[in-house]
Structure 1
Amino acid sequence: MRLERVGDQFGVKVASVQPVHGGDLSEVARVELENGRIMAVKRGPVVDVEARMLKAMALAGAPVPEVLHQVDDLLCLEWLEDIGPSEEGWRKLGEGLRGLHGTGGADYGWPEDYAFGPLPLRNSPRDDWCEFWAEARLRPFLPDLPADLASRVERLADTLTERLPAQPEAALLHGDLWTGNALFGRAKAWMIDPACYHGHAEVDLAMLELFGNPPAAFWQSYGETDPQREDRRPVYQLFPALVHLRLFGDGYRGMVTRMLDAAGV
């Protein structure tokens, strides 16, 4: 469906369509209807899964955009104005993420697989966290890695039982919570573009720290974390580093190497 025909779903003609920067893995646009309604409209092969993830997060009380309509490869979302982070915005993000992590699951994973563009993301549920992280988040990259990196990633995967808890609380995760997937309004914050599954809450925290460190207001509102979290951080940050290497090329090889060095493999 052409984006100009989105209005057909709402009985109103489209007044304007503006591409939104940042749609690396799917087509994203700001669509305004003639009645003044504004939506974020996405097109991609897995937007139906994204819609179900957003609805699950909303049921958990997390601050996310409302799903207005989804059919085939089209997803229409509430438009959120991002005015940039503030101390209060970071505090709200911490509260929202803590609430999301307070929603548990029976096992680790998600009922559906997902994808980052051409990169499949396997989510088959497992009852052992170390097994899930090794088999669903590290080993799938091995066939496409240079031999030196592959051997180090495999060595890390083989030793996860020494590094990670076997059965942490199976928190509901955003799954891709870097700062670009947080929007800030006036005294508000929202999480967008999820890649949900149930797992160790520290995964989201590690991802949020990958490209910078949230300010004190975030940590104060999120609440207490395990002091040993810092030792596990590079193990969790390795996954998004591998994703970036696979999707965007050798410019991220240094990031992968740094995470492996920090993990001591």
Structure 2
Amino acid sequence: MAPLVHRKRLPGNPSYAAWESSGLRWLGEAADAGGARVVALLDVAEDHLDLERLVPAPASPAAAEDFGRRLATTHDAGAPAYGCGPPGWEGDGWLGPSDRLLPLEVTAEPSWGSFYARARILAVLRMGRDQGTFGASDVVVFERVARRLAAGEHDDPADPPSRLHGDLWAGNVMWTAEGAVLIDPAAHGGHRETDLAMLSLFGAPGLERILAAYDEAHPLAPGWPDRVGLHQLHPLMLHAVLFGGSYVAQAVETARRYA
């Protein structure tokens, strides 16, 4: 029986369809090797993607543990560099809600700290400063964090770039009778803790079991819970730029912890 089709309508930006579909294929390669399952991509057009229609189901404890192990395998599939896109991708990617997409720089940095400082923290800081979201005192705090990152204070040379989903909030994990399925990626090379921190930011079903199973499959570096806020800083800044409100104070207060 042919799979049921979900047609995902896309914004009027031809490169977005190519970006998301490239990410699905790249993550799908890891899924074929035991990584986290990825929604099946059936067809690609400039204004839509045809995807397998998924039937939601509750997230069981066993499914959460299975997802944690599989996500570790996806990350372990690796990437050529921090900030790189899927194989063959040229130009920047995209991140954010479909009606307000923001550019996501695709680059190739030798260290996570230099990548995260320049292509994520400072890139969003410029947007927020220019539109008045972040004031002068806020800018100083974010720049201090960026300097410490660029200096390598949080780098782990023993852990090479991971293959990330890149926007792994709970809404981009679909739970089905067969387990968790990844949707809506912004796939790139990065730090494995970034995906885990994003899962933690807005909560996810069975989060404790996911993290415990992940840590069994690939032990996380000592002190990683203390770095969760650092990895959440970029999405918090993006939310501040997009939506304002309490996200602004939350982003600044998080930055102060690492400044």
TM range (shorter): 0.7 to 0.9
Contact kept? 1:175, 1:204, Cα under 8 Å = yes
C-alpha separation in 2, matches of 1:247 and 1:57: 27
C-alpha separation in 2, matches of 1:134 and 1:36: 42
The equivalent of 2:131 in structure 1 is none
C-alpha separation in 1, matches of 2:9 and 2:242: 20
**TM-score computed with the length of structure 1 as normaliser:** 0.80
> Pairwise mapping of residues 109-258 of structure 1 onto structure 2 (< 5 A)?
109=83, 110=85, 111-112=89-90, 113-116=92-95, 117-143=100-126, 144=128, 145-160=134-149, 161-165=151-155, 167=157, 168-212=159-203, 214-222=206-214, 223=216, 224-258=219-253
Contact kept? 2:113, 2:155, Cα under 8 Å = yes
C-alpha separation in 2, matches of 1:217 and 1:231: 19
Q: Secondary structure at the match of 1:84?
A: coil
Contact kept? 1:104, 1:172, Cα under 8 Å = yes
Gaps of 5+ in 1: 1-34
Find out whether 1:48 has 2:24 as its counterpart: no
Contact kept? 2:65, 2:213, Cα under 8 Å = yes
Percentage of identical aligned residues: 30
C-alpha separation in 2, matches of 1:220 and 1:152: 33
Q: Which runs of 4+ in 1 moved over 6 A?
A: none
**TM-score computed with the length of structure 2 as normaliser:** 0.82
The equivalent of 1:15 in structure 2 is none
1:226–1:166 Cα change, 3 Å: closer
Contact kept? 1:241, 1:252, Cα under 8 Å = yes
By relative contact order (CA 8 Å, sep 6+), the higher-ranking structure is: 2
Q: Secondary structure at the match of 2:38?
A: coil
Q: Secondary structure at the match of 1:184?
A: strand
Deviations 1:56-105 (A, max 9, x none): 10011131111110011211111111223221221222122111111112
The equivalent of 2:6 in structure 1 is 39
The equivalent of 2:58 in structure 1 is 84
C-alpha separation in 2, matches of 1:220 and 1:129: 24
Corresponding letter in the other structure for 1:169: P
Deviation at 1:187, TM superposition (A): 4.4
The structure with the larger Rg is: 1
Number of equivalenced pairs: 230
Deviation at 1:158, TM superposition (A): 0.6
Corresponding letter in the other structure for 1:216: E
